[in-house]
A and B are shown apart, each in its own frame.
Chain A
Amino acid sequence: MERVVDPLAKKPSALRAYSETIAFVVMVVALGVAPFFTYPLFLMQAMCFALFACAFNLLIGYVGLLSFGHALYFGWASYLSAYAAKVWGLTPELAILTGTATAAICGLLAGSLAIRRQGIYFAMITLALAQMMYFFALQAKFTGGEDGIQAVPRGYLFGLIDLRNEMAMYAVVLVIFLAGFTFIYRIIHSPFGEVLKAIRENEARATSLGYKTDRYKLVAFVLSATLAGVAGATKAIVLQLASLTDVNWPMSGEVVLMTLVGGLGTIFGPMVGAFVILVMQFKLAPIGEWVLVIQGAIFVACVLLFRRGIVGELANKLRIRL
């Protein structure tokens, strides 16, 4: 006799319980084989932006802080990384570290100012500080002004591996992206990350439970800025270019858009969003300024119609965590 199983009482299937792990494996495999099917340079750029969006998502998705000035950390890390590689002649890994350290310091300074105000003011302060640093980049000598820093040498990793080889460079970027991605995953699922989520849900309550919420917010801010810096510094080496585009406000808007499209507060959303937006920009490049209009329309559509984003909607439909 067959037993009737109540589908609702069923234990979560293996697929459900391990949805994040499975998605991670799929992602690693996909990124591993992708360069054999499409342009490695495009993929590397996409991974840099994906890491940037993941770093941004750490703030908006898990602490509920909307930074509208993340281009500051991305762009300035990019400048310092390019400068270190080109002028100081540092090896690429040291150049990336230089850029990252810059972003961390900027994050500490900007973060300690911005967390003094909440909500909507936080967004405006981060935007204003980023604009200030944009003007510094515009006027400073070493950034090259309108030209930016061009023809940055990729150099030899650890002084050994020639990164002019596209596949070697790809491997480096993949490792950096996966390391950053895993690090963010660990932050979110650590006791520290739980406190962050508690602050997002109810800051007053977290304070009353004895947490110094300002300190938690500042640490999260610095972590996010630092990881955005890793992305920017790597991008400068990959594309051999650091320019004003990276520090200007549309870049801050773009990372918000990527995260929103992919899904705020999901692990994989920002990555998916970054790829979607970059593919869109790539395909739509011929129509010029209309890209701006389409991006704006996507913003409006996301906010009104699907606030969960692509991955968030998918996870909700399948009732899994992604």
Chain B
Amino acid sequence: MVEIFGIPSQALFGQLLIGLINGSFYALLSLGLAVIFGMLNIINFSHGAQYMMGAFAAYLLLQYSGLGYWPALIIAPILVGITGVIVERLFLQWLYKLDHLYGLLLTFGLALILEGVARNYFGSAGLPYTVPESLQGGRNLGFMFLPNYRAWVIVASLAVCFGTWFVIERTRLGAYLRAATENPTLVRAFGINVPRMITLTYGFGVALAAFAGVMAAPIYNVSPQMGSELIIVVFAVVVIGGMGSILGAILTGFGLGVIEGLTKVFFPEASNTVIFVIMAIVLLVRPAGLFGRRG
């Protein structure tokens, strides 16, 4: 067997793959946070809970309507996105004039509610969700075994991330969004319905989280606490990358996932904490974050 730095190459590439998978989720979630923060000036603490909702929506769709993975990948984000729109209309819209902190507190409360409800109905133990038939199995790449589903997760999340980047940076709709982030009053004066844009942006960000949740369902168990642990790591990712740049959020997400995976190979005790340590170092060296502006 081939060894690299005294580590069997199978283990090394295996962890690298897991790192890329985790990185896909970091990227998708931090992207959603950045999009929401850009428009609403709110840090969406319930992002993790909405990711969890996506996974549960996929699970319930399978249990009660017999809809499998592929329909769920479309339906679950739409359903969860609609709840996001309702949340924005009911709660968040009253907070824009207040300090940012209230948005954080309110969405934290929402996260507690969602997680509590999920725990009451499904218990704390994880529920299994099987890999769709079309993606079962895998292929041998010579140096490692690559399960098809994992390859799909990486490709799909890259596609969604770059799709989002393209819409925001390269289309007319994206131009409106960016303009409304800079100066909402002026954009309204041009006859664009900014409040509706804000609502839909939140719905879209939440739908991204749910999309990540559906993709995560076959990899991790579907469980009520799957979101709350992830969201704290994603916060660290966001602090490292800064929320000013969409591409920055994507790159930081994938990069940190890979670093975390490598840490699992070389120094497993630190794998839980490595991202936080990197955050501390970045704060010392580049307080504004890797891609951020000072603020």
Among B95, B98, B101, B295, point to the contact of A66 (Cβ < 8 A). Answer: B101
- Of A4-12, A203-211, A266-274, A285-293, the stretch lying at the interface with chain B is A285-293
Q: Is there a chain A Cβ closer than 8 Å to B196's Cβ?
A: no
Please give the number of chain B residues whose Cβ is less than 8 angstroms from any Cβ of chain A in the complex. Answer: 44
A130 to B228, CA, bound (A): 14
Q: B277 — which chain A residues lie within 8 A by C-beta?
A: 132
Q: A64 — which chain B residues lie within 8 A by C-beta?
A: 99
Most chain B beta carbons < 10 A, residue from A60, A138, A299? A299
A51-95 CB contacts (< 8 Å) to partner B: 60, 64, 66, 68
Q: Is there a chain A Cβ closer than 8 Å to B188's Cβ?
A: no
Which residue of A is nearest B49, CB measured? A296
Are B105 and A293 closer than 8 Å at their CB atoms?
no
The dominant DSSP class at the A interface is helix
Among A128, A300, A304, point to the contact of B276 (Cβ < 8 A). Answer: A128
Shortest A146–chain B CB gap in Å is 14
Among A116, A123, A302, point to the contact of B43 (Cβ < 8 A). Answer: A123
Shortest B223–chain A CB gap in Å is 13
Contact with A along B109-146 (1 / 0, CB 8 A): 11111111101100000000000000000000000000
A123 to B231, CA, bound (A): 13
Q: A230 — which chain B residues lie within 8 A by C-beta?
A: none
Are B109 and A299 closer than 8 Å at their CB atoms?
yes
Which residue of B is nearest A295, CB measured? B112
Shortest B112–chain A CB gap in Å is 3
Are B110 and A127 closer than 8 Å at their CB atoms?
no
A291 to B119, CA, bound (A): 11
Q: Is there a chain A Cβ closer than 8 Å to B284's Cβ?
A: yes
Are B112 and A292 closer than 8 Å at their CB atoms?
yes
Are B287 and A124 closer than 8 Å at their CB atoms?
no
Q: Is there a chain B Cβ closer than 8 Å to A117's Cβ?
A: yes
Are A124 and B236 closer than 8 Å at their CB atoms?
yes
Q: Is there a chain B Cβ closer than 8 Å to A18's Cβ?
A: no
Are A135 and B273 closer than 8 Å at their CB atoms?
yes
The dominant DSSP class at the B interface is helix
Shortest B88–chain A CB gap in Å is 13
A117 to B113, CA, bound (A): 29
Q: Is there a chain A Cβ closer than 8 Å to B89's Cβ?
A: no
Are A299 and B115 closer than 8 Å at their CB atoms?
no
Are B102 and A303 closer than 8 Å at their CB atoms?
yes
Q: Is there a chain B Cβ closer than 8 Å to A179's Cβ?
A: no
Are A296 and B116 closer than 8 Å at their CB atoms?
yes
B226-244 CB contacts (< 8 Å) to partner A: 228, 232-233, 235-236, 238-239
Which residue of B is nearest A65, CB measured? B101
Q: B91 — which chain A residues lie within 8 A by C-beta?
A: 300, 304
Are B43 and A120 closer than 8 Å at their CB atoms?
yes
Q: Is there a chain A Cβ closer than 8 Å to B279's Cβ?
A: yes
Contact with B along A134-162 (1 / 0, CB 8 A): 01101100000000000000000000000
Q: Is there a chain B Cβ closer than 8 Å to A241's Cβ?
A: no
Among B101, B116, B228, point to the contact of A290 (Cβ < 8 A). Answer: B116
Q: Is there a chain A Cβ closer than 8 Å to B280's Cβ?
A: yes
A248 to B99, CA, bound (A): 26
Among A124, A303, A307, point to the contact of B238 (Cβ < 8 A). Answer: A124
Q: Is there a chain A Cβ closer than 8 Å to B104's Cβ?
A: yes
Are B112 and A299 closer than 8 Å at their CB atoms?
yes
Q: Is there a chain B Cβ closer than 8 Å to A25's Cβ?
A: no
Are B276 and A307 closer than 8 Å at their CB atoms?
no
Q: B101 — which chain A residues lie within 8 A by C-beta?
A: 60, 66, 119-120, 123
Are A260 and B105 closer than 8 Å at their CB atoms?
yes
Are B112 and A113 closer than 8 Å at their CB atoms?
no
Q: A291 — which chain B residues lie within 8 A by C-beta?
A: 116
Q: Is there a chain B Cβ closer than 8 Å to A121's Cβ?
A: yes
A124 to B34, CA, bound (A): 13
Q: Is there a chain B Cβ closer than 8 Å to A297's Cβ?
A: yes
Q: Is there a chain B Cβ closer than 8 Å to A245's Cβ?
A: no
Most chain B beta carbons < 10 A, residue from A64, A124, A295? A124
Q: A293 — which chain B residues lie within 8 A by C-beta?
A: 112-113, 116-117, 120
A7 to B26, CA, bound (A): 62
Which residue of B is nearest A298, CB measured? B109
Q: A128 — which chain B residues lie within 8 A by C-beta?
A: 232-233, 235-236, 239, 276, 279
Q: B269 — which chain A residues lie within 8 A by C-beta?
A: 139
Q: Is there a chain A Cβ closer than 8 Å to B11's Cβ?
A: no
Contact with B along A211-245 (1 / 0, CB 8 A): 00000000000000000000000000000000000
Are A119 and B100 closer than 8 Å at their CB atoms?
yes
Shortest B181–chain A CB gap in Å is 15
Q: Is there a chain B Cβ closer than 8 Å to A129's Cβ?
A: yes
Shortest B147–chain A CB gap in Å is 28
- 26 cross-chain CB contacts under 8 A: A66-B104, A116-B287, A117-B239, A120-B37, A121-B239, A123-B101, A124-B235, A125-B239, A125-B279, A127-B232, A132-B280, A136-B273, A139-B269, A139-B272, A289-B119, A290-B116, A291-B116, A292-B119, A293-B120, A296-B108, A296-B111, A298-B109, A300-B109, A300-B113, A303-B95, A307-B98
Query: What are the 7 closest A-B residue pairs judged by CB atoms, nearest first?
Result: A299-B109, A296-B112, A292-B116, A132-B276, A296-B113, A293-B116, A128-B236
